[in-house]
Structure 1
Amino acid sequence: MFDIHMTRLHELTVVIYAFSVLLYFFDFIHHNRKANRAAFWLLAFVWILQTVFLFLYMMKTGRFPVLTIFEGLYFYAWVLVTLSLGINRLLRVDFIVFFTNILGFIVMVIHTFAPVQYGSHIIGQKLMSELLLIHITMAILSYGAFSLSFVFSLLYLFQYDLLKKKKWGKRLMRLADLTKLENLSYLLAVIGVPMLILSLILGLQWAILKVPGMSWYDAKVIGSFIVLTTYSIYLYLRIGRNLAGKTLALWNVGSFLIVLINFFLFGQLSSFHIWNS
């Protein structure tokens, strides 16, 4: 019973941690103070849950939990969260907190979903299924964000063409202005990229544990990283190069075509990427 409750506590912690990292990413990209504050309080809640687990585990074992690699991983994740919270409150170095917690989240995922730490084989198998489920769900949600971003870019290109050809009419009036379409397309890409990153982290963790000898040259693995790269370049062009307009919209459309290729073609070519655990 204790193991089951601890499993649920870990899963809740990972989910909240993921939301915190997503919000920190949004603040990193968009300089949004509200997102930063929300991310901080979610991270604080993660720290509370981690601390509760540490005390419960110490009460059960009667010792400090650092004697095994899995205990050490959990304590390491707790230390990273503790330090990042302290840095955020004392030094106000927000980007340090963001990058520190990407590492902390990876460590937390490895600890939570590594089945050998649990005495029950059934619990371990159940965790593997849940890990795969979370990975697939986050991947699909990121693809959904990219799909909407693609639609807004298409509308942008359509509106741009109408304005360039001076085709005034009801169709033009029904479309949003170019700035709004471009901003919505960008915002959805900002949402999709960190979700895809977290999905890849979870997916790689599942594959390493469940697919011995997994080939890193698998079509689906390569395709997923190509998708991540193209959308990361899109964000860089928008933020780092201040690129806007038709060129950026075309890049976004091209990036989504890679999403479709990865989803429909590379999935069929993959040697292990199937919809089951």
Structure 2
Amino acid sequence: MVEMNVTRLHEFIVIIYALSVLFYFIDFLQNNRKVNAIAFWLLAFVWVIQTFFLLLRVIETGRFPILSMFEGLYFYAWVLITLSLVLNKLLRMDFIIFFTNVIGFFIMALHTFAPGQHESSILTGQLISELLMIHITMAILSYGAFSLSFVFSILYVIQYDLLKKKKWGKRLLRIGDLSKLDHMSYVLNVIGVPILLLSLILGVLWAFITLSEFRLYDVKVLGSFFVLLIFSWNLYKRVVHKVQGKTIALWNIAAFLVLLINFFLFGSLSQFHFWS
């Protein structure tokens, strides 16, 4: 019972850590101090809980907990989170902070869900199943964000053409302002990209733990990373090269079509994505 409660708390930490990574990604793109503060305090909460368990382990064993693989993973994740918090306060290095936390998230997830560290084989099987559920849930949430972003891009193109052809009327007013449509499409992509990234990390982790013959060149795996790359490229063009308007809307529509191909076609060709 105690082991189950501790495991549930570690799962909760992984979810909070994922939210922190999401907010750090938003701050990385938008340089938003309020979002950075939210990300920092979420990460600080994770650090406090991790530190508590680390000290508890020291008291229980009478030694520093680094002598096994799983103890080492936990300490490694703790070190990365500590460094990230320090960097966040001392330096404005958003790129480094974000990717440090992506690595930390992977290590923390590996420590939480990997088999072999739990006494009960039933608990191990349940955790692996829950890892798959979290992976699928996060993937669907990211797809939902991309879908709404696609809708806003479609509306942008329609509104743009109506304005260019000077077709005034109620339909023009009901679609909405071009700048708002463009902004909402961008915001939803900002949310979708890090969620998909974390979902893929958990998915690869689940596959390595569960499947005896998992290969990264599975068509659905490659397709999913390609989808992530395309939407990331759209954000890069938007943030770095300031590409906006109809051009980025059309690229976003094309990216969503690739997502649909990956979901329906590549999913049916995959060796293990049966749920697709």
TM-score computed with the length of structure 1 as normaliser: 0.96
Specify the alignment match of 2:76 in structure 1: 76
Q: Which residue of 2 aligns with 1:53?
A: 53
* Separation (CA, whole Å) in 1 of partners of 2:144 and 2:225: 17
Structure 2 counterparts to residues 101-120 of structure 1, below 5 A: 101-120=101-120
1:115 is paired with a residue whose SS is coil
How many angstroms apart in 1 are the aligned matches of 2:252 and 2:197?
A: 18
Could you say which residue in structure 1 is the equivalent of 2:198? 198
Normalised by the size of structure 2, how large is the TM-score?
Answer: 0.97
Letter of the 2:112 partner, please give it.
T
Give the match for residue 155 of structure 2. Answer: 155
Query: In 1, distance between residues paired with 2:147 and 2:210?
Result: 30
CA distance in 2 between partners of 1:45 and 1:10 (Å): 12
Write the letter of the residue equivalent to 1:56. L
CA shift, 1:92, in A, is: 4.3
Query: For residues 69 and 248 of structure 2, what CA distance do their matches in structure 1 show?
Result: 46
1 CA distance for matches of 2:241 and 2:142? 24
Alpha-carbon distance, 1:222 to partner: 1.0
Instruction: State the match for 2:217 in structure 1.
Output: 217
The one-letter amino acid of 1:217's match is: Y
Distance 1:47 1:84 in 2: 10
CA shift at 1:266, angstroms?
Answer: 1.0
Structure 1: stretches of 5+ with no match in the other structure: none
Higher alpha-carbon deviation: 186-195 or 76-85: 76-85
Aligned partner letter, 1:258: V
The two structures, once aligned, show a CA RMSD in angstroms of 1.3
1:6–1:53: 8 Å Cα contact kept in structure 2?
no
Aligned residues: 276
Identity of aligned residues (%): 64
Q: Which residue identity lines up with residue 157 of structure 1 in the other structure? A: V
SS of equivalent to 1:266? helix
Distance 1:4 1:60 in 2: 18
Q: Per-residue deviation at 1:79?
A: 0.9
Aligned partner of 2:63 in structure 1 is 63
* Secondary structure class of the residue paired with 2:44: helix
CA distance in 1, matches of 2:91, 2:147: 39
Mapping of 1:9-88 within 5 angstroms? 9-88=9-88
Q: Which runs of 5+ in 2 are unaligned?
A: none
Partner of 1:256: 256
Per-residue displacement from partner, 1:222-270 (whole Å, max 9, x unpaired)? 1101100110111011111111111111100000011111111111110
Deviation at 1:60, TM superposition (A): 3.0
Q: Give the letter for the 1:266 counterpart.
A: F
Q: Quote the offset at 1:54 in angstroms.
A: 1.2
